[in-house]
Structure 1
Amino acid sequence: MSEATPPPPRILSIAGSDSSGGAGIQADIKTITMLGGYAMTAITAVTAQNTRGVQGVEALPPQFVLDQVESCLSDIGADAIKIGMLGSSETARLLAERLDSFAGPIVFDPVMVATSGSALADSETIAGFAALMDIATVVTPNLPELEALTGRSGLAEEDVFDAAKQLADTHGAQILAKGGHAEGDDQVIDRIVSPTGKLASFAHARIDTRHTHGTGCTLSAALATMLGYRQPTTNAIRIARAFTYAAIENAPGFGEGSGPLGHQAVRKLEPPEED
């Protein structure tokens, strides 16, 4: 590396391992790497899964998860952190305590259910999400997750902002409410909301495909990477959404169910200029 070339942003992903490579830690590493970042990991759980579903989950001991985090932060350090599948409520508690003093951006993807429909968090773990949302910079729930986190059900399109604002006010975080699960065939609309109000909306044409395994992991990892580049939040979201959309378009078509994205097929993006 020449003296004129800045080092890549250091991104720590704290998430579960997907044996089929489509989501979780594997999707995060691919995303961070394709966007020019340096990927580190703290694995919270290992799963036996494929495009058809999750066949088994083994959560790692919470203290060992914390040990992995400490190993990364105490030596290499991190410019941003992405948190995904947690594995247990105790892991959530320990992470919230350890990362409360982290100075960089934290993106929390409150993973509850896999794309296949398999549950990846029990009620106690979901209850533990609150402490992590308190320290997060951006929280990225899809609509079912937003409903669960706010105690609302059957959110209509006009209610999404209010629900996201409720979550933002409660935890002091920015909420990226993802609209992929909304009814309608034409567009996917995502909304970023802060405690002070609505920041922006983003829309793109809905892609007619079953190959969407790992979209939430990809988006949140891309967002963390862009924030690690010190991009403003709205610009970071635009780039993260563009990367995710391109990865869906380039899905290789593997598997009999919800197949993985084509991260490696996305054109290499030039690192953005730092602010």
Structure 2
Amino acid sequence: MSEYDPVDPPVALTVAGSDSGGGAGVQADLTAMRAHGVFGASVVTATTAQNTRGVEDVNPLPADHVASQYAAVADDFDVAAVKTGMLATAEVVETVTELVADFDAPLVVDPVMVAATGDRLLSPAAEDAYEDLVAAATLVTPNADEAAVLTGDPVETPADAEAAGRELVALGADAALVKGGHLSEGAVGEDVVVDTLVGAEGDSESGGPTVDRFETPRIDTDATHGSGCALSSAIAARLARGESVRGAVDVAVEEMTEAVRRGYDVGEGPGAVNPTVLGEE
């Protein structure tokens, strides 16, 4: 009989929707987390019928069942970081906000509000409910469209992204990463993506939150499905391992270029990013 030789990784939790096409949501989250050496647990907030061509149906789960899933995980695991993704309804957003209120570890909020097509995914009530969850976040990671929804101001340039990040920190988030993939290419150069991190290391010499910009090559592809999920999950995983917000963001943003470049060419529509390359040395 062989000797039992287990590993004891940190545990990270994703609270998000399920993607039947496998490219985003909980499926991408767990892949990214395990690529970074953490054990991923999950709370499913909604099931979707989708593939590489689009979303055909969304079925939000009852908020009390979401709470039951969270309680089951929290009762058994020493959760070192939580990441939220698609929360689907105002009731679920409010429930998750209550659940994490006493969570004494990093919380990464990926406010999934706007589809790649630009379509709004949440009702106005659900969007409004995000304010308290953002205020509880260690890091909030909106794309430009989502940052515009959260702040009420257009986000089209890196300067706009910085302003939005400052406003999100003023709302209570410890830090905000405004992702630059949706910024106007003319504002940043067609070959460059600029992600803006505000507030990661406390106050700057000027007295306001610190600001860091990360420039990475833009990959010539539409196959970016799951990029936001994988990025926020990679950051949460690295925070679960004890890294700083800035350090976790720096590595995860750099890795995302390779995850897009080596994406999955599957299905008849644009493919998905490849979270398995995250965490590679």
Q: TM-score, normalised by structure 1?
A: 0.92
- Deviation by residue 1:186-226 (Cα, 9 ceiling, x = unmatched): 21011111274133111101000111000000000000000
The residue type equivalent to 1:269 in the other structure is: E
Task: Give the letter aligned to residue 191 of structure 1.
Answer: T
Give the match for residue 35 of structure 1: 36
Shift of 1:179: 0.5
Aligned to 1:165: 166
1:191 matched to 2:202? no
Contact 1:10 1:79 in 2 (8 A): yes
Contact 2:263 2:271 in 1 (8 A): yes
Aligned pairs (5 A) from 1:95-110: 95-110=96-111
Which residue number corresponds to residue 224 of structure 2? 212
Point out the more displaced range, 178-187 or 149-158: 149-158
Contact 1:161 1:198 in 2 (8 A): no
Cα shift readout 1:14-73 (whole Å, capped 9, x = no counterpart): 000000000000000110111111010000000011111110000000010011011001
Larger displacement relative to structure 2 (82-91 or 119-128)? 119-128
Superposed CA RMSD: 1.8
2:252 corresponding residue in structure 1: 240
Give the superposition deviation at 1:268.
5.5
1:181 alignment partner AA: H
Give me the TM-score of the superposition, normalised by structure 2. Answer: 0.90
Q: CA deviation at 1:118?
A: 4.9
Give, as a single letter, the amino acid of the residue that structure 1 aligns with 2:115: A
Is the deviation greater in 255-264 or in 210-219?
A: 255-264
Specify the alignment match of 1:269 in structure 2: 280
Mean alpha-carbon deviation: is it higher for 253-262 or for 53-62? 253-262
Q: Taking structure 1 as reference, are residues 150 and 256 closer, same or farther at Cα in structure 2, changes over 3 Å only? A: same
C-alpha contact 2:262 2:273 (8 A) present in aligned 1: yes
Q: 1:55 to 1:118 in 2, by over 3 A?
A: farther
Partner amino acid, structure 2, of 1:202: F
Identity %: 36
The match for 1:273 is none
Task: Give the match's secondary structure for 1:85.
Answer: coil
1:170 to partner: Cα distance = 1.4
Ranges in structure 1 where 5+ consecutive residues have no aligned partner: 271-275
Q: What pairs up with 1:1-275 in 2 under 5 angstroms?
A: 7-153=8-154, 155-184=156-185, 185-194=190-199, 196=203, 197-264=209-276, 266=277, 269=280
Separation (CA, whole Å) in 2 of partners of 1:209 and 1:172:
32
Counterpart secondary structure, 2:215: strand
Output the amino acid matched with 2:280: L
Cα drift, residue 119 of structure 1: 3.9
- Say which SS state the counterpart of residue 115 (structure 2) adopts: coil
> Aligned pair in 2 of structure 1 residues 263, 157: CA closer, same or farther (>3 Å)?
closer
SS across alignment from 1:201: strand
In 2, are the aligned partners of 1:92 and 1:131 still within 8 Å (CA)?
Answer: no
Equivalent residues of 2:144, 2:155 under 8 A apart: no
The separation in 2 between residues aligned to 1:161 and 1:24, in whole angstroms, is 27
Letter in 2 for 1:192: L
* Distance change >3 Å, CA 156–CA 34, structure 1 → 2: closer
Q: Distance in 1 between matches of 2:259 and 2:154?
A: 31
Q: How many residues align?
A: 267
Q: Counterpart amino acid of 2:104?
A: A
Task: Identify if the C-alpha distance between structure 1 residues 116 and 214 changes in structure 2 by more than 3 Å, giving closer, same or farther.
Answer: farther
Cα offset, 1:74, TM superposition: 1.1
Distance 1:166 1:118, change over 3 A: closer
